[in-house]
Chains A and B, each alone.
Chain A
Amino acid sequence: MSTVISAMALMSPAGVGAGAFGEAIRAGVPLPGGAVEDFRTDAADPSARPVRLVDRPSAMALAAIGDLLGPDVLAGWPPHRRALVLGSGAAGIDQSMTLTRDSLTRPRPDNVNPALVPACVMNYASAQAAMAFDLRGPNATVTAGAATGLAALRYARRLLASGRADAVVCGAFEDLNGRRAAIAEAAGRATRPAEGCGVFLVEPADRARSHGRPVLAEILALESRVFDEPCHAPAVLDAAVRRALRTGGAGPENVGLLVPSGQEDAGLRLPAHTRVVRPSEIVGDAFGAAAALQVAAAIAVRDASRERASLDPAGGLALITTIDTDGHAACCLLRTGGRGGPGT
């Protein structure tokens, strides 16, 4: 079964929408700040149920999923066959720290905001999205640090392979907040924190075609591994990349585009002609959303190549790699070469 990405919706420091992100990636100029400036969460409705809370990370995810799922996507898709796989790297930590702080500092230790409780755990956005779009099928939340976006894609592909859903809404998000930045700094991670969200419609190629949706990318391989010490990361990632290429029936020479999370490509033996795009240098460190934005960058760059009729003769494969300092090394091999997808 060929699994493809047939739609995507984004928000990034470049703004809301895939267009703004693609332009920023193609321009290659670092964006100042790190927030999605044109995304504002609505003030919480005072009449709403007390357990509902509009917090920024889940609001971002919900808005992006709303963009992804037009009425045409949901039409004819039975609710119990609609799956969702969503992830982030740190969602809930900011809210949890607020709750603990309040318990420690207020006159009574139970004088905490009960509305905050559901947002302290990581599946809050997934649950909200299910309610908003009647997604009654498998609903999973995953996290693997900076590799979360690829872990979500792998979970999504497995749901399709096992026949548990017709298609999957799949993505990752991360918001920018003071605590996240302070934790990164205390941990010695020199980053330029940013926020963002990338969500994709993942489905079998046949289903995309029959619904008239374009194949933005075919997922040829997803690999992930764990490294113990940072010095082992390059070799561990290299082994993952080699297997991904074997799975995809490709060689290093077929990789026309490389989208790494940082500078880890120094250890990969890819040919000199491979174009390298580094989203983190442009948008900053979106942590749990980073890998989803890398996938989006691969799609955006290839789209632009097609428009200029300058398709890479090497075969149109894009390789996304990620090293998460907590120990995850992962990669994804995509075919982004043709409007009609593979074989067309």
Chain B
Amino acid sequence: MEVSAVSHDRPHARGPADDPRPRVVVTGLGVISSIGIGRADFLTALRAGACGASPISGFDTTGFRYARAYEVPGFDPETRLRRIEPGRFGKVGAQAAAAARMAMRDAGLDPAAVRDEPGVIAVGTTCGESLDVDALAAAEVAGGLGRLPAPRARRVHPGRLPVAVAVELGLTDVEAVTIPTVCAAGNYAVGHALDALRGGEAEFAICGGADSVSRMAFAGFYRLRAWASERCSPFDLDRNGFMFGEGAGMLVLETLDHARRRGATVLAEVAGFGLNCDAEHPTRPLRERVAECLSGALRDAGAAPREVDVVFAHGTGTKINDAMESAVFADVFGDAPPPVTALKSMIGHTQGAAGAHACIAAVLGMEHGFIPPTVNFSTPDPECPVDCVTGASRPARVRTAVVNSLGVGGNNAAVVLRHPGALAGGPPTGQGTSVENEPSTGRGTATKEGAA
């Protein structure tokens, strides 16, 4: 296939050295997932190759032949909130707010210190407050539309998710938007924040995504035979579908100047972003357009394909997606493709949070010198000829990472992250061909995260 992507015109296709736009960096991570809550737990689970699939506990699954998901059982995000009173927001909003609270603490950024600065809050989601939607439907069945419970009705709209974040952090002067571009939404939120900061409209942003696991989504995708029966097994010959996961991933982004002014530890640079649309088929992704999106993100970052040290694949575990994505990686990276991994094997398809979760995992891999594994893998698939990191995490010197994501409907979005070592000035160092165990930068992750 011709990769027409690389020839597309783009006004900002310059290297970082001669790009006048502000550089944008990641300074804080907040994560809620089935394998870990908070940076330290998530990191431990990523390294260990944990799998968070378990029997669904959030709703009654009587009558389904199988019913597993990557939930976060027993975790109430409201216990992590300080300002939001219980019940005011749904569980998904509470998760977004709790993850944002963690990310700000991780960034060492007191919300009060930026209260008078314009900021951006962007939350991606697929199903919004899906548990409240389910509850309203159950109430309709029980008593009709005239007897819907007021608390659920008040908090059901997805536009509330970034409001929950703002209220929890006491921020007012923030551009708050929900981006419900389904399963690519987490990357969309990061890219939206990147463009806002590059454009000078803000100097800090809190961005990512949140979702839960609802009866609506489970029944629908079970019916479509897209929901895996036991676990999600991306790139495996016997993979049989995706499995939704619950959680939130939020990142604090700042312009490099803003981060340096306050002496923050820079975790990574958000070097580039690309987004486009298949405009072709409602559910079957189009290889050519996905490749164009990925190439566009690399151009935006001023990064050559050979510089990429790891690709966090969308990796849903469906037959079609993984084979298509494997072909795309060959198209974009040629005969020396970087290692690939699929986080969904560990945390499930966290939908609107998936891209954000993968960005967080990529940043942690950069910081600690490893590539998280694709678990649940046993048999290679000739249709997926990729160097998939399986079984255990792989030590690696990660200087440039790409996070790929796709949303049903043909929405593609890719984020390019760079190691902060490339920020000193001049062209990025480290072409990423050597594999070595790079020690941690010395950031005290365990103590910093504390009880967050």
Contact = CB atoms under 8 A, between A and B. Distances in A.
Interface of A: 49, 51-52, 79-80, 84, 89-90, 92-93, 96-105, 108-112, 114, 116-118, 120-124, 126-128, 130-131, 133-145, 147-148, 151, 154-155, 158-159, 161-164, 178-179, 182-188, 224-228, 232, 236, 239, 324, 326-328
B439 interface: no
Given A51-B283, A226-B166, 8 more contacts: A80-B276, A108-B63, A109-B219, A131-B280, A135-B277, A142-B179, A154-B177, A182-B145
Contact of A187 (B126, B154, B159, B224): B154
Contacts of B292: 80
Nearest to B222: A110
Interface in B155-203: 156-160, 162-163, 166-167, 170-182, 188, 192, 195-196, 198-199, 201
Interface stretch (B26-34, B326-334, B406-414): B406-414
A122 B158 contact: yes
A183 B199 contact: no
B282 A131 contact: yes
Nearest to A146: B159
Contacts of B411: 123, 126-127, 139
A104 B137 contact: yes
Nearest to B188: A140
Contact of B408 (A118, A159, A227): A118
B407 A123 contact: yes
A163 B10 contact: yes
A167 B410 CA distance: 20
Given A89-B159, A140-B181, A96 B127 contact: yes
B220 A225 contact: no
Contacts of A145: 157, 159-160
Contacts of B223: 110-112, 114, 117
Contact of B159 (A109, A164, A179, A324): A324
Contacts of A116: 220
A120 B220 contact: yes
Q: Looking at A49, A89, A163, which has the most chain B CB atoms within 10 Å of its CB?
A: A163
Interface stretch (B42-50, B128-136, B341-349, B368-376): B128-136
Contacts of B82: none
Chain B binding surface, main DSSP class: mixed
A114 B283 CA distance: 12
Q: Looking at A51, A103, A155, which has the most chain B CB atoms within 10 Å of its CB?
A: A103
Contacts of A92: 128, 180
A186 B127 CA distance: 21
A321 to B, nearest CB: 16
Contacts of A100: 133-134, 137-138, 214-216, 219
B166 to A, nearest CB: 4
A327 B167 contact: yes
Given A183-B148, A186-B153, A226-B176, A110 B219 contact: yes
Sorting the interface of chain B by its residue count into under 10, 10 to 19, 20 to 34 or 35 or more gives: 35 or more
Contact of B178 (A117, A126, A143, A226): A143
Interface string B269-285: 00000011111111100
Nearest to B152: A186
Contacts of A104: 137-138, 141, 215
16 contacts: A49-B282, A96-B130, A99-B220, A100-B134, A112-B220, A121-B180, A123-B181, A123-B409, A131-B282, A141-B181, A143-B158, A143-B178, A158-B195, A224-B176, A226-B163, A326-B163
A186 B153 CA distance: 6
B146 interface: yes
A26 B272 CA distance: 47
Interface in B208-231: 214-217, 219-224
B133 A97 contact: yes
A140 B185 CA distance: 9
A104 B59 CA distance: 11
B276 A158 contact: no
A79 B152 CA distance: 42
A324 B134 CA distance: 24
Given A79-B279, A121-B126, A179-B140, A109 B179 contact: no
B451 interface: no
B280 to A, nearest CB: 7
Q: Which 7 pairs from chain A and chain B are nearest by CB? A: A127-B409, A139-B277, A100-B137, A186-B153, A122-B180, A327-B163, A163-B11
Given A109-B63, A110-B64, A155-B177, A162 B199 contact: yes
A80 B172 CA distance: 36
Interface string B63-102: 1100000000000000000000000000000000000000
A144 B178 contact: yes
B280 A96 contact: no
B443 interface: no
B436 to A, nearest CB: 36
A158 B180 contact: no
Contacts of A97: 133, 136-137, 140
Contacts of B177: 142-144, 151, 154-155, 224
B181 A126 contact: yes
Contacts of A182: 140, 145-146, 148, 153
B112 interface: no
B176 A144 contact: yes
B198 A162 contact: yes
Contacts of A123: 180-182, 407-409, 411
A225 B173 contact: yes
B63 A110 contact: yes
B159 A114 contact: no
A123 B176 CA distance: 18
B62 interface: yes
A94 to B, nearest CB: 10
A133 to B, nearest CB: 8
Given A144-B176, A158-B192, A130 B130 contact: no
Nearest to A97: B137
Contacts of A324: 159
Contacts of A239: 172-173
A328 B163 contact: yes
A228 B171 CA distance: 9
Q: Looking at B10, B127, B180, B408, which has the most chain A CB atoms within 10 Å of its CB?
A: B180
B224 A226 contact: no
A226 B216 contact: no
A231 to B, nearest CB: 13
B63 A226 contact: no
Nearest to B67: A109
A74 to B, nearest CB: 12
A17 to B, nearest CB: 26
A130 B157 contact: no
Q: Looking at B128, B196, B409, which has the most chain A CB atoms within 10 Å of its CB?
A: B409
Interface string B226-269: 00000000000000000000000000000000000000000000
